[in-house]
Structures are given as structure tokens and as C-alpha cells.
């Protein structure tokens, strides 16, 4: 009887060890970033609670492609195989594509790739590519803003500032779909972020880039590529751009660059209809410019800190 009792204790002990060893690794929020004039490269912020952010010192990917070799608007997503894909703006004007690189640890990156996006050679720019992984069709969707003079009703914008949103898809970053129009809301639009809430329930956060608006709005769709509802009224003030969305608990946080005031703003929402301004509750290091937020393991953060300390 004593022997069986000892056996039971041993099995229980091993079971507890096994349960502990397979418990999920702690996760952090990570925020891709750059500093003006955007010629240095990729930076990171990280946070444990989604409110308070610290910098990880250093440059983790230096831009090497494009006419101006910039790295603006770095957008990141983790896809199958735990591979992170990064896309970014390579030049203010003149490039017909955007940059791409991939990594498993956010330190060691593949060779930088210029992804050809626009075939019309009169295209002024390719701005702010935003990457989204579509887990239904198992493909990456990249959305960006381009201005093609004379293509759309100008309104009050100059021809070289009358943007619309375009997109392409890929499964492997070797073969790409043709470029298609993603959104024409009837005004100049840039900085689009796709958010999946539930099956057939998607939100688009976008910037109305017309004067004097230059603020953020919302649209809804049953598909990540639309069609989307009419854009909402603005939920931010003027001179807001570069939104990114992350879920903190049961609510969504929308961070955005208040570029005239040179600070970061944040809104909290549960339905993307009603918003609470939490700008005074968050803290972002000075000089941080807009990228995207994703979740990573504690080991990824530790690796980045160790690399930074070298």
C-alpha cells in the first residue's frame, strides 16, 4: 500500500511538472517604429500592458532598397511557421512598389525585396503598405495608398495628392496577384488598417486625407477586401494618421500619430462606433513614428534586448 502511495505521488509530481513546462509563454506587445527622417531603419517599442511603452534601443533593419532608401510606416504580421513579415514605404515619391523582408526572431532578416505594386508609370507614390494575414483564404493581403493623376475626381486635392487604396495578395512572397482597387470612398484616402473581429466581421480604420479633415474614420465589411460600408464620421481630431489597432483585454485600442502636436493619441472602443479618448492614459517615447502593434513571446523580447545590449 505504501509503495502504491509513493507511486501515486510520483505520477502526480511528474504531471504537475509537465503541465508547468507546457504552459503558454508570456506575451508582450511590440510596436514597430521609425524616427524621422526615416533613413536609419526599423526600431521597436514594447509593452506588457498595452498602455505603457518602452524603447528597445538600436536599429534592427537598415533600409537598402528604393530610390530614397527610406523605411517609413513599418507594418508587421506573423504568419504560418511563426515567420514575421515586414512591409514598408521605401520613398516619398518615384517608387512603384514597397519593401518586404521576413524574420523568425525580428533580428535576423531576409534579403530586402522590392514588391512591384503599381503598373501605371504615372503613379506618384506607394505609401504606407499595411500587411494583414487572411486566415480564411490563407494568404497575405497588403493594402497601400497611391496617387495616379487624372484617375479619380480630384475634389479639392491636387492631382498628386488624390490618393486611393489598392491591394494585392500572396501566399509565399514569390508569386503575387494582380493589383486591384481596394477602396474609393470618394475622397483622398491613405493609411488603412484591417481588423478581424469575427468570421465575416471586419473593420477598416482609414485616414481621410482631404483638407481640412486629415482625420480617422471607420468602415465595415464581411470580407477583408470589401466591399466596405460608407466611411463613418471622424472619431479623431484633425492631423491624425498612421493608425494601428490591438486588442487589450476585451477592448480594442487604436493608436495614432497626432503629427502636428508631435504626440501619440489613443482611443478605446468595444464596437468601433463609440470611442473613449485614452491619450492621457498611455505613454509613448518621444520621437516614435507610426508602425503597427502585434503580440510576441517573452523570448522574442529578451532576444531583442540582448541584441540591443551588444
Q: Tens of pLDDT along 86-141? A: 999 999 999 999 999 999 999 999 999 999 999 999 999 999 999 999 999 999 99
User: Does residue 11 surpass a pLDDT of 70?
Assistant: no
Please tell me the distance from the alpha carbon of residue 77 to that of residue 220, in angstroms, as a whole number: 21
Region 30-58 average pLDDT: 98
Region 274-296 average pLDDT: 97
Domain boundaries, the chain: 28-309
Query: What does the pLDDT look like over 236-278, one tens digit per residue?
Result: 999 999 999 999 999 999 999 999 999 999 999 999 999 999 9
Q: 62 pLDDT band (50/70/90 cuts)? A: very high
Q: 157 pLDDT band (50/70/90 cuts)? A: confident
Please tell me the distance from the alpha carbon of residue 216 to that of residue 207, in angstroms, as a whole number: 4
**Helix, strand, or coil here: 32?**
strand
User: Which residues are CB-neighbours of 185 under 8 A, at least 6 positions away?
Assistant: 206, 208, 219, 230, 231
Q: 13 pLDDT band (50/70/90 cuts)? A: very low
Q: Do residues 230 and 185 touch, judged by C-beta distance below 8 A?
A: yes
Query: Number of H helices and number of E strands within the chain?
Result: 2, 19
Q: Is the peptide bond before 266 cis (omega within 30 degrees of 0)?
A: no
pLDDT at residue 24 in the model = 79
Please tell me the distance from the alpha carbon of residue 217 to that of residue 92, in angstroms, as a whole number: 24
Which is more confidently placed, 19 or 221? 221
What's the CATH number of domain 28-309, 2.115.10.20, 1.10.1040.10, 3.40.50.300, 3.65.10.10?
2.115.10.20
Amino acid at each position: 500500500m505504501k509503495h502504491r502511495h509513493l507511486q501515486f505521488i510520483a505520477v502526480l509530481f511528474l504531471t504537475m511538472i509537465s503541465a508547468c513546462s507546457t504552459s503558454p509563454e508570456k506575451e508582450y506587445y511590440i510596436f514597430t517604429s521609425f524616427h524621422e527622417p526615416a533613413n536609419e531603419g526599423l526600431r521597436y517599442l514594447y509593452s506588457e500592458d498595452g498602455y505603457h511603452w518602452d524603447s528597445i534601443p538600436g536599429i534592427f533593419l537598415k533600409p537598402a532598397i528604393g530610390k530614397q532608401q527610406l523605411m517609413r510606416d513599418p507594418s508587421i504580421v506573423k504568419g504560418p511557421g511563426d515567420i514575421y513579415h515586414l512591409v514598408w514605404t521605401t520613398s516619398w515619391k518615384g517608387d512603384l512598389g514597397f519593401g518586404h523582408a521576413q524574420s523568425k526572431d525580428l533580428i535576423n532578416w531576409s534579403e530586402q525585396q522590392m514588391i512591384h505594386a503599381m503598373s501605371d508609370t504615372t503613379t506618384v507614390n506607394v505609401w504606407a503598405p499595411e500587411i494583414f494575414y487572411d486566415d480564411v483564404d490563407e494568404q497575405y493581403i497588403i493594402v497601400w495608398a497611391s496617387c495616379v493623376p487624372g484617375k479619380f475626381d480630384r475634389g479639392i486635392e491636387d492631382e498628386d495628392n488624390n490618393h486611393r487604396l489598392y491591394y494585392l495578395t500572396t501566399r509565399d512572397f514569390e508569386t503575387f496577384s494582380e493589383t486591384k482597387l481596394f477602396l474609393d470612398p470618394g475622397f483622398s484616402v491613405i493609411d488603412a488598417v484591417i481588423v478581424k473581429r469575427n468570421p465575416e466581421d471586419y473593420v477598416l480604420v482609414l485616414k481621410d486625407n482631404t483638407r481640412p479633415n486629415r482625420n480617422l474614420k471607420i468602415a465595415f465589411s464581411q470580407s477583408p477586401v470589401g466591399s466596405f460600408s460608407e466611411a463613418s464620421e471622424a472619431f479623431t481630431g484633425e492631423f491624425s494618421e498612421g493608425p494601428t489597432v490591438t486588442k487589450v483585454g476585451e477592448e480594442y485600442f487604436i493608436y495614432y500619430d497626432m503629427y502636428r502636436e508631435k504626440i501619440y493619441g489613443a482611443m478605446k472602443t468595444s464596437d468601433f462606433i463609440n470611442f473613449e479618448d485614452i491619450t492621457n492614459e498611455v505613454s509613448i517615447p518621444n520621437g516614435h513614428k507610426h508602425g503597427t502593434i502585434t503580440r510576441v513571446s517573452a523570448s522574442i523580447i529578451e532576444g531583442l534586448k540582448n541584441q540591443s545590449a551588444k
